[in-house]
Chains A and B, each alone.
Chain A
Amino acid sequence: AQSVAQPEDQVNVAEGNPLTVKCTYSVSGNPYLFWYVQYPNRGLQFLLKYITGDNLVKGSYGFEAEFNKSQTSFHLKKPSALVSDSALYFCAVRVGYNQGGKLIFGQGTELSVKP
């Protein structure tokens, strides 16, 4: 079965410092990996995805993620955190076409950026 794990319920970072939100995955076949962000009382916004190609993927709002096949990880990163980055972040893997292509989500990581 395909699954995603986000080992940290919460990450605290000072504004201006780099941030990392961790994600590991377990899939059969090629992984299709996504990051979404959820601001309070809002829906999910797409940040970035890894399909194939370069292991470093760049996305919205200055975020990037590094795909590491040997470690089965897809950590979200940003060089300099902003207070406005404070939100709930979800990592997800998309299952294959024959399974409907739905997203399997991790439990989410609450990012708190303090001034």
Chain B
Amino acid sequence: GAGVSQSPSNKVTEKGKDVELRCDPISGHTALYWYRQRLGQGLEFLIYFQGNSAPDKSGLPSDRFSAERTGESVSTLTIQRTQQEDSAVYLCASSLGPASGNTIYFGEGSWLTVV
């Protein structure tokens, strides 16, 4: 597609339920990133995928968070047993590669509300 596509755009879930967020990167982009943005706060790095290399999971806040990516395509971010503090917008981004000069492009985000 023309840009990074994320779904769902909005999700309201009950505390304790699992949620799955999907990201479809720009075609040909090998690098994929997930960020979290809590209300009124900055962007927090969660996880990074590059091609078939092992992902960098250093930003995942707890073991309730996990993510997968199939090759160089779609990625899913899963949050198990959601808590109210998980309420945030989850932004996916992609880039041609991890080289510093490449631009990282963001999707519109998945807005998660845990009630």
Q: List residues of A whose CB falls within 8 A of some B CB.
A: 30, 32, 34, 36, 41-46, 49, 51, 90, 94-97, 100-108
Chain A residues positioned under 8 Å from B109 (CB to CB): 42-43
A101 touches B43 (CB 8 A): no
Contact for A43 among B31, B100, B106, CB less than 8 A = B106
B42 touches A101 (CB 8 A): no
B101 touches A32 (CB 8 A): yes
B98 touches A101 (CB 8 A): yes
Chain B interface bracket (under 10, 10 to 19, 20 to 34, 35 or more): 20 to 34
* A-B CB pair tally, cutoff 8 Å: 68
B100 touches A45 (CB 8 A): no
B97 touches A101 (CB 8 A): yes
Q: A90-B43, A105-B42 are in contact. Are A49 and B98 (CB under 8 A)?
A: no
